[in-house]
Homo-oligomer: A and B are copies of this chain.
Amino acid sequence: MPELRKDPIVGRWVIIAHERARRPHDFKAEPTSHAQSKVCPFCEGNEDMTPPEILAYRDSGSRPNGPGWRVRVVPNRFPALKIEGELDKRGDGIYDRMAGVGAHEVIIESPRHHVTMATLPEENIRDVLWVYRDRLVDLKRDRRLVHGMLFKNVGEGGGASLEHTHSQLIVTPIVPISVWEEMTGSLEFFNYRGRCIYCDMVQQEAAVEKRVVLDTPHFTAFCPYASRFPFETWIVPKAHESHFENIPKPAVDDLAHVMHQVLNKLELALDAPSYNYIVHTAPFDHSGLPHYHWHVEVIPRLTKVAGFEWGSGFYINPVPPEHAAAFLREVEIATSHPGVAARERTSGGRPQPLASKVP
Interface residues of A (CB under 8 A from B): 3, 5-18, 20-25, 27-28, 31, 80, 92-95, 149, 151-153, 157-160, 168, 170, 172, 176-179, 181-182, 185-186, 189, 197-198, 200-201, 204, 207-208, 224-228, 230-231, 269-271, 273, 276-278, 280, 297, 299-300, 302-308, 310-321, 323, 327, 353-355
Contact = CB atoms under 8 A, between A and B. Distances in A.
A238 B3 CA distance: 29
B314 A13 contact: yes
B307 A16 contact: no
Nearest to A322: B16
B354 A24 contact: yes
Contacts of A159: 304-307
Given A153-B307, A278-B307, A307-B277, A230 B22 contact: yes
Given A9-B182, A273-B27, A204 B94 contact: yes
A57 B177 CA distance: 43
A151 to B, nearest CB: 3
Contact of A208 (B9, B15, B93): B93
10 contacts: A8-B189, A9-B182, A9-B185, A9-B189, A10-B182, A22-B230, A22-B318, A168-B308, A177-B313, A179-B313
